[in-house]
Amino acid sequence: MSTKKKTKQETLPKEDVTEELKKEDSNIQEQEEVTLENQENEKKQKTKMKVAVTAQVDVEEKVEKEAKQNKVKLEEIVNEKEIEKVSNVEKVKKSHKTSLILTVTFFTIILLFLLLSTIFAFIVSKQSTIVHGVSINHIDVSGLTKEQALEKVSNALAEKLTQPITLKHNEYELTVFPEQFGVSFAVEESVNIAYDKGRSGNIFQNNYDILASLLFGSQINAGFSYAQDTLDSLMSEMEINLSDRFIESSYYVENNNLILSKGKDGVIINRDKLKTNIIFAINNLNCNIDTITIPTIFQKASTLDLNKIYQEVYRAPQDAYYTTNPYALYPHVDGVDFAISLEEASNLLTNAQQECSIPLKVLSPAVTTNQIGKEAFPDLLGSYSTTFSTANVSRSTNIRLASNKINGIVIMPGETFSYNQTVGQRTAAAGFKSAAVYAGGEVTTGIGGGICQVSSTLYNAVLLANLEIVERQNHGFNTGYVPVGRDATVSWGGPDFKFKNTRNYPIRVVSTVSGGRIITEIFGLKMENEYEVEIQSYVTQYIKYKTIEKKDATLEKGKTKVIQSGSNGCKSVAYRILKQNGEVVSKTLLSQDTYNPHNEIISVGTKEVKKK
């Protein structure tokens, strides 16, 4: 290399040699720089490759480490699952074994229980006593026979019915006894139910009934009944006597006067609740309830509306009339009006404290129902007659007065006739006389004696006309003027004789008195299927009279005097027989009556006679 340089120096000029040397140095320097740069790049590249290799090695080591860890965890999980699986299998085996033991034990107990209870039920069924734990209305009847239970329960309930109960409201008190309400218990039925416990069903039902009664007791409530109408009547009576009772505003017509009564706010009895309380007190022996507060409800009285009352009271008169084709009767209607102006009536009501009276006037029709002639009532439906002695003037007078009162009376279809309301009160002012009547088992005198013969004659005519009897009561003694069982006693404020027109056409009563004879006839219109009526009555038993002695201080000692002769009483029955074409269609019981005997009354002297 040095040789070459020497050759060139020999041939080239000096400047060129210098320049050439510079270039050569520059190239050498550039080559060296490139070489250094390449070496640096190679060094960097190697460094990068080394870092990359190192990073790859770290990742591979990390992945390998994680894989090892996961493998370990997986092995642990698998081991745990295997252990758990083995444990569960063992648990299932143990559970099955336990369940089997429990099931066998349970069924063994059940079978043993059924066996023992069956034997027990069989033994009980063969006994003649009620199973233990059974009570009737809280009365223990365990171990008793039917007869013993019946006696025990009957005695306990009978004693309950005699225990008083006080009903109280403020200062008002009323003591009552349950037996007053006709209370009765179905003791025999409840004893039968008690006895059937453990006997009436199948073996399982019987076992259940016996064990239930033994463990928990069995309560039987005896059937309970009472006379509701009696209790209702009692509550009505109590309500009237309450000092703070409710009084509704009202009005009514009396003797051609309109009576207006202002009401008063107050209380009424809560009847349903009171009934419930009374029944509870009677029906529960374990509750010693001797006082019951009367439950009440407060009510406000309404205000009287005079204009509305006038519209209801006022009525225009209507004449009676009838038609013959077809037969129809239209009764008269009396008209009613205020006798004073409406303004005057309003002033009376405003100034009244509690009650006021407004005079009325009757507007009479031109033709009344009773004035219609016999032609409106073409057929005789029934008639009957009785006789009396005209020698008794007072009695004869009363008979004529009563007969005239009912003569011509027309009863419309569905209407009820009242003998007392038609004849009116028997007073001397009305013309009635004092005559013989029955009172207290003896013959005495009283105003109106004899009118019962008129009512009894009418009763028989009504029976033969085949009308419905609404109210009728026999005399206390056999009258003699009609057959036994065919009389009808009446008394003002007491027994009444009522019958209803059950026909489709009005009827008219015609009653006449002549020559000691009462003739009563019922006229109307016969129906197509009219019945023949026959009344049958007879004595079923006689009742012997007794002799009563009365001391008489006016009669000498040792002497007697007959005041009243005796006659026997009797019991009787009466029937109404209906026939068509001579054949009996029906036979209806009318009454079963008892007539008291006329006791013989003898005066016995008690007057001491002085010795001469």
User: What confidence tier does 607 reach under pLDDT thresholds 50, 70, 90?
Assistant: confident
Separation of alpha carbons 259 and 250, rounded Å: 8
Could you give the 3-state DSSP secondary structure of residue 32? helix
> For the segment 408-459, what is each residue's pLDDT rounded down to a tens digit?
999 999 999 999 999 998 888 889 988 766 554 455 666 778 899 999 999 9
> For the segment 63-117, what is each residue's pLDDT rounded down to a tens digit?
677 767 776 676 677 666 666 665 666 666 677 778 778 888 877 887 776 666 6
Can you state the percent helix, strand and coil of the chain, rounding each to 5? 40, 30, 30
The mean pLDDT of 138-163, rounded to a whole number, is: 85
Task: Classify residue 274 by burial, with Cβ atoms within 10 Å: 0-12, 13-18, 19+.
Answer: buried
pLDDT at residue number 9 = 43
- Beta-carbon contacts of 537 under 8 Å, excluding residues fewer than 6 positions away, are 483, 484, 485, 486, 572, 573, 574, 575, 590
More reliable by pLDDT, 39 or 298 = 298
User: What's the one-letter identity of residue 59?
Assistant: V
Separation of alpha carbons 527 and 538, rounded Å: 30
More reliable by pLDDT, 364 or 1 = 364
Q: Does residue 308 register a pLDDT over 60?
A: yes
> For the segment 227-282, what is each residue's pLDDT rounded down to a tens digit?
888 888 888 888 888 889 998 899 888 888 999 998 889 999 999 999 899 888 88
Give me the sign of the Cα torsion angle 93, 94, 99, 105. Answer: positive
Q: Does residue 7 register a pLDDT over 60?
A: no
> For the segment 167-210, what is each residue's pLDDT rounded down to a tens digit?
999 988 888 888 877 788 888 888 888 888 877 777 777 777 77
Q: Does residue 389 register a pLDDT over 60?
A: yes
Could you give the 3-state DSSP secondary structure of residue 603? strand
- Give me 173's structure tokens: 């008190």
Number of Cβ within 10 Å of residue 437's Cβ equals: 18
Asked if residues 187 and 144 have their Cβ atoms less than 8 Å apart, the reply is no
- Per the listing, tokens 């019946």 go with 150
The mean pLDDT of 33-54, rounded to a whole number, is: 66
The mean pLDDT of 23-49, rounded to a whole number, is: 68
Asked if residues 386 and 524 have their Cβ atoms less than 8 Å apart, the reply is no
pLDDT at residue number 138 = 83
Domain ranges, ordered by start, for the chain = 2-94, 134-299, 306-363, 373-607
Length in residues, the chain: 612
Of 228, 237, 229, 239, which is closest to residue 299 (Cα–Cα)?
Answer: 239
pLDDT at residue number 63 = 63
Strands in 271-326 per DSSP E: 291-293, 296-299, 321-324
DSSP state of 370: G
pLDDT at residue number 16 = 57
CA dihedral 594, 598, 599, 602 (to 10 degrees): 170
State percent of the chain over pLDDT 90.
34
- Per the listing, tokens 């005495």 go with 444
Asked if residues 558 and 472 have their Cβ atoms less than 8 Å apart, the reply is no
